[in-house]
Structure 1
Amino acid sequence: MPAGGVYKQLEGTSMASPHVAGVAALARAVNPKLTGYRLKRILMSTAVNTRSLRGKTVTGSRVDAIRAIRKARRLKARSGPG
């Protein structure tokens, strides 16, 4: 619980960045060989278009952790062990 016992709603890049970075870390954990470029492509291609974000974000989408992790895992399986 935050100081004062009150939660606040915050928005913007400073709030989105930790979430996207967390998903990137999870995807990299299942496929450590991902390059930065490939990781970005995974995050962008698995994002979910969200009507309420249109015009508010570059992509109009939100990150989807499950889809990103599954795609990272599939790419690892295709590239073989190790």
Structure 2
Amino acid sequence: MEPEIIHIPELAQMLSRSESAIRSARQASAAWLPPSFKQGNRICWRVSTVRQFLQECESGLHAPARPGRKRQAPPTLTL
């Protein structure tokens, strides 16, 4: 039976990242990290939330905003 709540080591394995990368990303509020919660002193994730977050990333919902100003349409020529 799979656990419903996972911690940093399990999330690191699930995302193919190191534990230190997960800790650093959490401190920096990285966009690629699913939302977490605290249970006592431990940082936790629900497996269902992580899977849903990954599916949303695949569909492009969590894409970072592109830097720079928005393009304007070129002026049209009127004759």
TM-score clears 0.5: no
Structure with the higher fraction of residues in helix conformation: 1
TM-score range (shorter-chain normalised) is 0.3 to 0.5
Q: What TM-score do you get using the length of structure 1 for normalisation?
A: 0.36
